[in-house]
Structure formats: structure tokens, C-alpha cells
Amino acid sequence: MSTIQSRFRIQYKQFELDTQLEFPDEGVTVIFGRSGSGKTTLLRCLAGLERSPTGYMKFGDHVWQDATHNTFVPVHHRPIGMVFQEARLFPHLTVRDNLNYGYRRIAPEHRKITFDQVTDLMDLHPLLDRRPQKLSGGEQQRVAIGRALLTNPQLLLMDEPLANLDAQRKQDILPFLTRLRQEMKLPIVYVTHSLSEVLQLVDTLVLMQEGKSVATGPANEVLSRLDLAGKTGPSSVGSVLTTTIAEHEAEFGLTRVQYRDQSLYIPEQPLAVGSSLRVHLLAQDISIALGKPVTPTSVLNTLPATILEIGPTDAQGSSVNLKLDVGEPILATITRKSLAHLKLKPGMQVYANVKAVKMVHEIEEY
């Protein structure tokens, strides 16, 4: 499998970016971190909009930057599509001309993704003859994504493309991003401070903190690492499970999803049986029992689990995070008192009670 390799170091007045990364050049790679962690700067380095004096970057077999050989491919010669936080549509051009701006500038033999395909995919037909200023924020961002796609990029870079949109607009755009991931075999690097936004998309996760990339890997692996639990932010401490819709129980308003040989009940989803759905299990929503409950309980979702690791005590000293194996690694937050009371040790077989399974749109931002 080919990869994107990079090494950037830039010193600014207040801040230093110092990263070394390698991630697959396929699927969706999310660069995640709080504001000021350097994730946008990292993306701009990948695009060639910032130039690290000692930097190195290789996309598949192509070296885009190598300071030791004085190689630096300028932005306009890189086969990238870039979507900025603000749509940056050219105000003097109509939507149609904005879309065509990059399309006209690529060689005709590279025009595999066509104007009609993109306008269909992003549902842009009604907007074509309008001026960017007359569009809503969500519409502008759809045009910006379409404009980037029309350059037929080999790599799509997105810098918090949903950050300036309200919750409803985000919900309007997300299906387009999901379609993009499914229909175009295009690697995407996506910068965000909100994991929930990209939960359905993320394959690889890069965690940024104070200018450094502190973790890189498959999303669930990174998210369920105990040593990073505090760094992903309170509402993000948890794990992502990729599940398949097994059946709908309409009378109870529930949907049963499956992963491996386990089942979870979640609020009914408007998805066909067999389609895939990612769910987020927050560490705070998972409690531990030593045995399967003998008396009836209201908890629907109980998973057999093995304790893998016990993390350090949190800052207040009252709770700890556990890493459990329920077929996939997940995190659970329990009190230190419970830990002592239940005499929990790594390797023990326990049951994880899942009090809630979050969908993308239910997760609060932090």
C-alpha cells in the first residue's frame, strides 16, 4: 500500500509545528486537534501553501518537497483539491465559472470527473447561474467542494469545511461527503476540531497537540488508547465501532446493529438492512458488571468483555479509564471506588453495560 509521507518543521513567533507522519493515501484521514494545535498549518504544508524550510513530503511515488535536494513542487503543479474553511468562491464569477475555473486549467485527458458528474453529485444545478454572494453558507461550501473536485485531484484536502455552518447545514452537507467517500476513490485529508462531524468518514486518525502529531493510526485504535484519553477532549473519550444494520424493530423504535458476533440496540435508523453505520460509544456511558445480570434490567446492551488495561487516575482523582476488548477495543470510565470494590484487574472477564450509543448528530461539540 502506498502512503503519504511528510516531515515538516516551521517556527513561528508563538508556535512551532514539528510533525513527522506517514498515512495511507486512500480513504479518509482526519487530522484532529483543538484550535491552535497546528492542524491547519499541517494541512497547508501538505498543500504547499506553507513551506517548511527543512520539509519533506512524498505522495505515493512522487516527491513534492525535499529540502535536501531543493525540491518544492508549487501549489499549482500539485494534483490536489483544496477546500477551505470559508468557501473562497471568486465573487466576480458565477457559480458555473467558479466550477470551471480549475477544470479549464487541467489537461483535457485528465478530465475524468466531468462537470455534469460533479453538479449531480453535489446537487448544484439550481445554483449554476447565480453569484456566490447570493448563496447560503452550505450552498457555497458545496460549490467549493465541487470546484475542487473538478480539478480531478489525486488528493483532496479539506480544512474544517463545515466549521462555519450551523448544525442543520452540517447535516445537509454530510451526506455529500459520505457520497464523495463512497463514489470517488479519492484519498481525503480532513482537518477538524470536531470528531463527531467525521465519525462516519474517518479511516485514519492523526491527533495533533501543540504543533506535534502525537498519534497516527486506524481511528478506533487511536481513540481507544488510554494514554491519549485526556487529549481527545471530554466528549470524544470513547470509541468508534463500525457496525452493520441487522434488523429494525419498528414497534419499539429500535434498530439492531451488528459488529463481529455482537449486537447493539440503537434508536431506529433510516437505513437499509445490511448498510454500514459507525456508532460512537462514549467512555462515560459504559459501566462494568462482574457477571451477567440475573435479575431483569433496563439496560439493553450488555457485551461480554475482557479488561485489557487500566489507565491512570484522572486529574480529580476520582475516576479511571479502562480499556476493554468487546471484539473491538473500547474505553470505559468508572470511579476509582468501583475499581477497588470490584477488584478489577487486566485479563478479567466482565460485562460492559452500554447505557447509550451515540449517533453522529447527537454528540456535543466541545
Residues that bind other proteins (CB under 8 A): 47, 49, 74-76, 80-82, 84, 86, 88, 90-92, 101-102, 105-106, 131, 133, 147-148, 151
Cell of 133: 454572494
Using the minimum distance from each CB to other proteins, give the nearer residue, 3 or 85.
85
83 sits in which H/E element: strand 80-83
> Coil, strand or helix: which one is 142?
helix
The answer to whether residues 83 and 145 touch, using CB atoms and an 8 Å cutoff, is yes
Distance of closest approach, residue 95 Cβ to other proteins, in angstroms: 13
Give the shortest CB-125-to-other proteins separation in angstroms: 21
Question: What is the nearest approach in angstroms of other proteins to the Cβ of residue 88?
Answer: 4
The grid cell for 283 is 467512555
User: What 3-state DSSP class applies to 263?
Assistant: strand
For residues 111 and 248, which CB has a smaller minimum distance to other proteins in the complex?
111
Whether 93 contacts 129, CB under 8 Å: no
Nearest residue (CB) to other proteins, 75 versus 310: 75
Q: How far is the CB of 151 from other proteins (least distance, A)?
A: 6
- With respect to other proteins, which residue has the nearer C-beta, 9 or 88? 88
As measured in angstroms, the least distance from the Cβ of 111 to other proteins is 12
CB of 82 to other proteins, least distance (A): 4
- By C-beta, is 190 or 259 nearer to other proteins? 190
| Shortest distance (Å) from residue 169 CB to other proteins | 20
Strands of 229-348, DSSP E: 238-249, 254-259, 262-267, 276-282, 286-289, 301-313, 319-325, 329-335
**CA gap 209, 213 in Å, rounded:** 6
Q: Cβ–Cβ contacts within 10 Å for residue 166, how many? A: 11
56-59: strand order across its sheet: 16-24, 3-11, 56-59, 62-66, 71-72
When the beta carbons of 47 and 121 are compared against other proteins, the nearer one is 47
Q: Which of 181, 202, 216, 223 is nearest to 328 (CA)?
A: 223
Nearer to other proteins, 47 or 332 (CB): 47
Closest CA to 194 of 164, 236, 228, 166: 236
Strands 62-66 and 56-59: antiparallel
- Cβ-based neighbour number of residue 186 at 10 Å: 18
Q: Per the structure block, which three cell numbers stand in for 34?
A: 483543538
